Amino acid sequence: MSTSREPKALAKSLRQALSERGIEISHSDSLECVARQLGWRDWNTLSAHLDYKPLRLPKHWTIGGSHPQDYDMGADEALGCALIRYRHAMTDPLAVSAGGGFGTLMQTVQADTFRGKRLRFSASLKAEDVGGAATLWLRVDAEKGRVVAFDNMETRPSGGVLSGTTDWLKRSIVLDVPSEAVTVNFGFYLRGTGSVWTRGLELEEVDASVPVTQDAAPHKPKPMNLDFAA
């Protein structure tokens, strides 16, 4: 249900209409009724939506992810950095989504000048009420989107993704760019709920003394646990 009329005016009209029928309700109760009629959980949630301003998408950056519609992504003008925030609590009636996907702010560049080199992607991240993970990611693709190098810090035992609420923390990813590379893709993402800020991004060549961080789970030497035993 939607309307072009200002919700407070609707609440006033509702209160007046009920009064004419001998039903008296308070101003706050009428606001709550209007909020529910418009599909919102309560008046506070609707009021936050009325004050909500979408973020500006910075030039040269694109939005992606499994559920980009669940996130507001762009520049935080007040802090002078980039921000991804889970948007349902602010902008969607009843906030029905559980934040099961992720949204990313990213760039894709040609790999020509990076082939045969070792790249480090680094930045500082800050998290607030993150219910999943906030992290950097770096991926190198060959022809037809075939992934030849990838790291998103998700499986690191320490110094990996951010969760909960944290102050600024530095993170970095180091990958080799093979000769068949076509594109280099990088960015940061938020999985689940909350907010993540990033600043101080750098994509630079490093020498062989800097170890790669690519997560490559070791392959088993033979098939194992084929009967699904505990």
Q: Rounded to whole angstroms, how far apart are CA atoms 135 and 147?
A: 19
- pLDDT of the residue at 48: 65
Q: Does pTM surpass 0.75?
A: no
Of 71-75, 93-97, 130-134, least confident by mean pLDDT is 93-97
pLDDT-derived band at 134 (thresholds 50, 70, 90) equals very high
Q: In 3D, which of 63, 45, 56 has the Cα closest to residue 190?
A: 63
Neighbouring-strand partners of residue 188:
105, 136
- All domains of the chain in start order, with CATH: 7-50 (no CATH), 62-206 (2.60.120.260)
Residues in Cβ contact with 82 at an 8 Å cutoff, skipping those fewer than 6 apart: 58, 61, 73, 74, 75, 76, 105, 188, 197, 198, 199
Query: Is pLDDT at 91 greater than 70 in this prediction?
Result: no
Structure tokens at 17: 């209409």
Q: Mean pLDDT throughout 41-64?
A: 81
Q: Rounded to whole angstroms, how far apart are CA atoms 212 and 79?
A: 31
Neighbouring-strand partners of residue 135:
189
Instruction: List the Cα angle 89/90/94 in 5-degree steps.
Output: 50
Query: Is pLDDT at 34 greater than 90 in this prediction?
Result: no
Mean pLDDT of the chain: 87
Amino acid in the structure at residue 38: L
pLDDT digits (tens, 9 = 90+) for 164-211: 999 999 999 999 999 999 999 999 999 999 999 999 999 999 999 999
Q: Rounded to whole angstroms, how far apart are CA atoms 55 and 61?
A: 13
Contact in structure between 82 and 105 (CB atoms under 8 Å): yes
Q: How far is CA 159 from CA 144, 152, 173, in A?
A: 32, 12, 11
Contact in structure between 46 and 40 (CB atoms under 8 Å): yes
Residues in Cβ contact with 128 at an 8 Å cutoff, skipping those fewer than 6 apart: 165, 194, 195, 196
Query: Is pLDDT at 53 greater than 90 in this prediction?
Result: no
72-104 b/e (C-beta count within 10 Å ≥ 16 → b): bbbbbeeeebbbbbbbbbeebbebebebebbbb
